[in-house]
Structure 1
Amino acid sequence: MPGTRLDVLAIGDAVVDVIADAEEGFLVEERLVKGSMQLLDAGQATRLYEKMGPARETSGGSAANTVSGIAAMGGRAGFVGQVAKDQLGEVFTHDIRAHGVEFETPPIDGGLPTGRCLILVTPDAQRTMNTFPGAAHQLSAQALDEEQIRGAAILYLEAYLWRAEGPREAMRAAIRIARAAGRKVALTLSDIACIGRHRADFLGLIEGGEIDMLFANEAELRSLAEEEDFDSALGRFEGKVPVIVVTCSEKGAIALEGGRRVEVPAAPVAKVVDTTGAGDLFAAGVLAALARGRSIEDSLRTGAIAAAEVISHYGARPEADLKALVRL
């Protein structure tokens, strides 16, 4: 897009992902629902971390994973998220910048520690996420760089962050800045747990014409629409959001653009190792391709390739050469 220096600028949880293998029995013992996401307080996070097995630590968070994927494809990506002035904050900052993502949000000192997401991966490759948001939920509108927002073709918002008042106001402010500059605004619904509490807010953004792209999985879309039938849920937002993208696990993905429905199959993968970040990398492929002017069909295929790569190994960041795989 003319006048932009970033393809996508995302606002989301700045957390460090701690990923470890776990047996089904461990989840039962800890009373964790497999495949779910739950919030932890500082004490719960410390206790669970101490009981986890050997783990990998990387900069994480849904939107952060997405922009890292975009950068890996050769796109120009930026991220806004709050970390603390502590060791994990330094891990997050170094890691996301090393992935080629512009990250300039100043750390805060004296508040909550940097957030972390404790991810347990069972032998069936399902991930169970346990998140202590920490400093991530202390993001404020004062941390925004207005020129950075105006300079991005697409502003991408993560619903996980909508749970806290400060970040919520920051995202509302960012939407106003982006729309005044003629930029696109995308929202990912993130998780059903986010929708139940904030459905009215999300519907208000959609009804108000403030969302240009909506990302969801089947369950999230049905929850937002309060419809059991998927087609009815999709139809609920037709004409209100220019582009709707819905992931359907192993069935592929569906998009609705200008009343036209497009479907693509999932990209083949030899073995599913860890589904962490599948939706995040799918969104990365779609956003990166759309920012380059590609068709919605090509964009969905790009997303499918990126998602297939990330589920073939542990972690939510690509390990193969995504730039070569997707060929933007």
Structure 2
Amino acid sequence: MTKPTHDVIAIGNAIVDVLAPCEDADIERLGLAKGGMSLVDTDRAEELYKAMGPAREISGGSAANTLAGCAALGLKCQFIGQVADDQLGKVFRHDIEAVGVTFATPAREAEPPTARCLIFVTPDGERTMNTFLGASQFLPAAALDESAIADAAILYLEGYLWDPEEPRSAMRRAIEVARNAGRKVAFTASESFVIERHGDDFRQLMAEGLIDILFVNEHELATLTGESDFEAGIAAVKDKLQVLVATRSAAGAVAVAGDERAEVPAEPVEKVVDTTGAGDLFAAGFLSGHARGAGLEECLTRGAVAAAEIISHWGPRPEADLKKLVAARLG
């Protein structure tokens, strides 16, 4: 097996996040599920956008956020995702390339427009996401850079993108390419509703040994396994994976690899401003250690530090120097 040219290559939604503060009463008035993520069509996206107060536009997308964190922590990364040939598509491309991530997927010239996620943030920092997938759900297998996938140590897949048929087929092909090249496959479940729709697929991938590293939060783990007890959920899947990483928000995180287990608390944060991207950056921190052969506890600590930085400000991309924060924490 040849030495990889990239540490992580990821496939995910290419989305521009639109974030605005709101009150809990606004969430209720608009009929939103606080703290959740819902897919919306064009009309609903326009309705919600009009209801937003002054907003900030920041490039996002779960896997793209993770790569931004990985790059900030010194990994060499590439992103595969679909944007349209429009203004938001140009914004997304500029932002991800500006943080040092390679993005070579050609823009799509036809409708629909580039995806956007309308995020309402309540005073407690909780984010309620409403995603219009737009062009991102039309990523074809033909757009894959198969040589780059084969040359990356880890293929990282975003569960959100499993929902549309075309990118789901592309990701299945990417898994095949990575496996044939002897590379690792990491998967983030993204959200419980994705598991409710495609859990059989995910369980089959695990049964066939096609997922090496799985990232879930405790709610996703329960949905995936049918076990309401956290420890029972871990027991149900840990032997089907090389590494299981399960986060528990303020209660910290657990990682299991065979007979090895590590657990860390959440890092202290003076004020939670916006939880958008917390799980994405936790994965980035973990992968930054895993790609360099670090132990489970260090990988988890890196994840906790990166997540704490993200929730201390608006938006899902790092603003502080993650390398310095991690180095200070690890001593």
Q: TM-score, normalised by structure 2?
A: 0.97
Cα deviation code 1:84-103 (max 9, x no counterpart): 00111111111111111111
Whole-angstrom distance in 2 between the partners of 1:94 and 1:267: 31
- Structure 1 residues 204-253: Cα deviation after superposition (integer angstroms, max 9, x where no partner): 10000000000000010111001111111111112210100000111110
Q: What is residue 297 of structure 1 aligned with on the other side?
A: 297
Deviations 1:47-69 (A, max 9, x none): 21122111111211111100001
Q: Which residue of 1 aligns with 2:102?
A: 102
How far apart are the structure 2 equivalents of 1:84 and 1:303? 32
Partner of 2:220: 220
Specify the alignment match of 1:49 in structure 2: 49
Distance 1:20 1:75 in 2: 31
The 2-side partners of 1:124 and 1:141 are apart by 41
Taking the TM superposition and a 5 Å limit, the aligned residue runs for 1:169-318 are 169-318=169-318
Q: CA–CA distance in 1 between the matches of 2:119 and 2:47? A: 14
> For residues 243-279 of structure 1, what are the alpha-carbon distances to aligned partners after superposition, in whole Å with 9 as ceiling and x for unaligned?
0000011111001111222111111111111111110
After superposition, the CA RMSD in angstroms is: 1.1
Aligned to 1:141: 141
TM-score computed with the length of structure 1 as normaliser? 0.98
Q: Deviations over 1:130-176 (max 9, x none)?
A: 00000000001000011110111100001100001100000000000
Partner of 1:59: 59
1:259 and 1:167 map into 2 onto residues whose CA distance is 35
In 2, the alpha carbon distance for the partners of 1:2 and 1:141 equals: 24
CA contact (8 A) 2:18 2:117 kept: yes
Q: CA deviation at 1:2?
A: 5.6
Partners of 1:86 and 1:266 lie apart in 2 by: 39
**Residue 172 of structure 2 aligns to which amino acid in structure 1?**
R
Distance 1:109 1:253 in 2: 42
Runs of 4+ that moved beyond 6 A: none
User: Corresponding residue for 2:7?
Assistant: 7
Q: Distance in 1 between matches of 2:26 and 2:2?
A: 52
- Count of equivalent residues: 328
Q: Which runs of 5+ in 2 are unaligned?
A: none
The reply to whether residue 74 of structure 1 matches residue 74 of structure 2 is yes
